[in-house]
Amino acid sequence: MTFDIDDAIQMANQAISRSAHRSLTDVEVIVLKGAWQRQDYDEIAAKHQYSTSYISQDVAPKLWRLLTKSLGEKVKKNNFKQVLEQHWKQHQFFDASLNSSSQSQNPYLSRPKQFQSFAPDYYVERSPLETTCSQTLLQPGALVRIKAPSLMGKTLLVNRVLAELATQGYRTASLSFKLADSKIHFTHLDKFLRWFCINLSRELGLPNALDEYWDEEDMGSKVSCTTYFEDYLLASGNNPIALCLDDVHLLFAYPEIYEDFFGLLRSWYEKARSRKRWQLLRLIIVHSTDVYIRLNINQSPFNVGLPIELADFTLEQIQEFAQNYGLKPDLSYLQPLINMIGGHPYLVERAFTHLKNDPNMTLEQLLATAPTDAGIYASHLRENWLYLQSHPQLAEAFKTVVTTKTPVQLEPMQAYQLHSIGLVKRSGNKVEPRCDLYRQYFCNH
C-alpha cells in the first residue's frame, strides 16, 4: 500500500500520543491535510473559517515543533510528508497499536484509540442543527448538549457554531478533556479544577490568575473555581463567553471527580436565572455516550438545556457531499456505497476522499476491498478489532450481533459500549450492526 494522508495522520497521532499523551486536534488535522495538498495557510484558514494568523502563527508552528520533538528530527511544512513516511515504513501498524494498547477493563476507560479524525475538506450542513444551536446560545445562560458516537462530526458542528457566535462578538473557548493527563488531573478534584481553569484562561487569551482567587483550604476547590469564573473569566469582558467542553464522557470513569464537577456546571446554569454576570456564560457539553452514571437529578447538567443528537447523513447530505468532491451525486452511482456504509459521516468522507484523489479507482473497486485488511478502511477496522480483542466478552457479544440477521438484545452495558464506539445502532431495546461494512468485516475476524 502507498503512503497516504490517512497514514500520515496515523503516524503523527502515534508520535504525539507517545510524547505529549494526547491526540491530534481537529484543527491540527486540518493543517496536515491542507499542507499535504500544498495549500497556503491563508487557503487552509479561509476554507475552514479560521483566521489566517491563528493557523499560521499559532496552530501550524506549534504542530511542527511538537512533531519535531516527538519524532526526533526537524519537521516543517515542506518536509513533513517525507519524515512521516520514513517512520511509517519502519513500523508495522499492528505492532504500534498493540504496544500502545495497554488498557484497563473499565468500560469507560478502555476505548478504541480512534486515531482517525473526522475533518473533511468540505462541511456538510446539518440543517437546522447549526441554526438551532446558534440561536439557543444567543439566549442568556443557555446550555446545549451534543451527543453522538465517535467520528460523527460533533467537533465540526461545534466549530461551526462557535465561528458563527464569534461573528456576533462572543468570546469563544473549547476544551477537550482528552488533553488532560488522567494519571495527574483526574486523581483529585482540586487538580482537575485548576487544570480546567488554567486551560480556559489560555483559550480566552487571559493570563493565569489562579493564585489570586484560589483558596482550597478555606473556600474549597468548587468555590474557588466558581469565584475564578465569576470574578475573573466572566468579568474580563462585557461580551458573552461560549464555552465548549468536549469529550466529557472521559470523566465518567472518575466518580470522585464527575459528581462534584457536573454538579458545579449545573449550579452555574442555575445561577444564570438570577445573576446577570452568569448569564454571560453559554455552555456546550459534548459527549460520545449515553449518561449511565448516577447523578442527583437536581445536580446534573444532562437533564437541562437543549439536547442535540447527531444522526447519520441523509441521502441529500451524501449527494451534496459527493458533488462537493467532484463526484456524481445521482443515486444510481451512490446506492452501492450507501448499501455498505449507510450515512456514517466518517466512512462517507473516507470513500469520497479516496475517489477524488485517485481518479483511476472506481467505486466498484473501492467497495470490493472495503471490508478487508487491504481496503481503505483497514486502519479504522483494525482499531475496533483490537479494542474488541482486549474485551473478550464484548467481542463475543458483537460476534452474535454480526452473525444474526435480526436485531439482538444484549446486556445493557454491552449494548451501551458497542453503541458509544459506533459499532451498532439501536432498534428499540435491541441492537444491530451500524452498517454492512462492519457486519462483513467482523463476521470474518
Question: What order of strands is seen across the sheet that includes strand 281-287?
Answer: 171-176, 241-246, 281-287, 143-147, 306-309
Q: Give me the pLDDT at residue 71, please.
A: 82
Predicted pLDDT of residue 96: 39
Nearest to 112 by CA among 353, 398, 407, 404: 398
Nearest to 52 by CA among 70, 38, 40, 66: 40
Task: Establish if 121 belongs to a structural domain.
Answer: no
pLDDT one-digit tens code per residue, 244-254: 999 999 898 89
Per-residue pLDDT tens digits for 357-385: 888 889 999 999 999 999 999 989 998 99
Do residue 438 and residue 425 come from a single domain?
yes
Q: With respect to residue 146, please indicate whether it lies within any of the assigned structural domains.
A: yes
Q: Could you tell me if residue 119 is inside a domain? A: no
Q: Do residues 211 and 286 both lie within one domain?
A: yes
- pLDDT at position 106, please? 45
Q: From residue 207, give the alpha-carbon distance in Å to each of 57, 64, 236.
A: 19, 25, 11
Are residues 182 and 248 located together in one domain of the fold? yes
- Which grid coordinates are listed for 364? 466498484
| CATH number, residue 285 | 3.40.50.300
Residue 109 within a domain: no
Rounded-to-5 percentages of helix, strand, coil across the chain = 55, 10, 35
Question: Which one, of 147, 124, 132, 120, lies nearest residue 246 by Cα?
Answer: 147
| Spans of the chain, pLDDT less than 70 | 1, 18, 21, 90-121, 292
Amino acid at 132: T
∠ Cα 258 260 261 (to 5°): 60
Going from the C-alpha of 221 to that of each of 210, 252, 283, 327, the distances in angstroms are 11, 20, 20, 55
Q: Which three cell numbers stand for residue 79?
A: 518536509
- Pair 237, 368 in one domain: no
Beta strands in 192-287 (DSSP E): 241-246, 281-287
pLDDT of residue 118: 56
The domain total for the chain is 3
Are residues 295 and 321 located together in one domain of the fold?
Answer: no
The three-state secondary structure class of 29 is helix
Domain membership of residue 409 (yes or no) is yes
Pairwise CA distance, residues 115 & 10, whole Å: 6
Final residue of a structural domain among 309, 344, 367: 309
| 121-180: pLDDT as tens digits | 677 888 899 999 999 999 999 999 999 988 898 988 998 899 999 999 999 999 999 888
- Rounded Cα distance, 395 and 397, in Å: 5
Question: CA–CA separation, 104 vs 32, rounded Å?
Answer: 31
Q: 291 with 342, same domain?
A: no
User: Does one domain contain both 276 and 215?
Assistant: yes
Give the side-chain half-sphere CA count within 13 A for 388.
Answer: 21
Residue 366 sits in the same domain as residue 247? no
41 with 80, same domain: the answer is: yes
Specify if 107 maps to a domain: no
pLDDT for the residue numbered 214: 93
Q: Do 204 and 326 belong together in one domain?
A: no
Is 149 within a domain?
Answer: yes
Which amino acid would we find at residue 127? S
Residue that is last in its domain, among 292, 309, 326: 309
Whether residues 290 and 325 share a domain: the answer is: no
Question: Is there a domain that residue 168 lies in?
Answer: yes
Domain boundary among 309, 327, 342: 309
Q: Are residues 261 and 362 in the same domain?
A: no
> Under a CB-based contact definition with an 8 Å cutoff, are residues 108 and 101 in contact?
no
Residue-number span of the structural domain to which 177 is assigned: 129-309
Q: How many residues does the chain have?
A: 445
Cα–Cα nearest to 262, from 251, 273, 271: 251
Q: What are the cell numbers at 207?
A: 493570563
Nearest to 109 by CA among 266, 247, 17: 247
